[in-house]
Amino acid sequence: MSTKLYIVEYYYKTKWGYADEFLQLFKKNHLPVLKKLIEIGRIINLNIAKPQFHTTEDGRWDYRVTITWKDISLLNDGFDEKIIARELYHDQETFKKEEQRRFDILSAHWDLPVVDVGTE
């Protein structure tokens, strides 16, 4: 089993005018789940960023979430993050509705695994 860190950048492009709402929902519903994954050691590092300036529409993204996973095998080991969500959010109906809304206001989303090429 590999113990090499695995880094993925998750990009979110919202429909025009919905970036703030997306971030609010992300921080309310998904960020606590990610923080719990840090607590239990599955995630080593987490960073949320947005561009300082605008770009062309075809290259535009509103938020980038970079997650450093402890190991690539964690992504396919059958762990169910929904268990954490059920523990954190007793009102599952509201949680599911807000999570659906978070994805409804996206115009694009992509995941980009990245590798360190070094500085030598």
Q: What residue has token string 């402890």?
A: 70
Diameter over CA atoms, the chain: 51
Confidence at residue 97, expressed as pLDDT on a 0 to 100 scale: 98
Given CATH 3.40.50.1440, say whether it is the number of domain 6-114. Answer: no
Confidence at residue 13, expressed as pLDDT on a 0 to 100 scale: 97
Residue 8's CB is within 10 A of a number of other CB atoms, namely 15
Mean pLDDT computed over every residue of the chain:
94
For 46, what's the count of Cα atoms within 13 Å in the CB-facing half-sphere? 14
Percentage of residues in the chain having pLDDT higher than 70: 98
Confidence at residue 3, expressed as pLDDT on a 0 to 100 scale: 67
Query: What is the domain partition of the chain in residue ranges?
Result: 6-114
Tens of pLDDT, residue by residue over 51-108, are 999 888 889 999 999 999 999 999 889 999 999 999 999 999 999 999 999 999 999 9
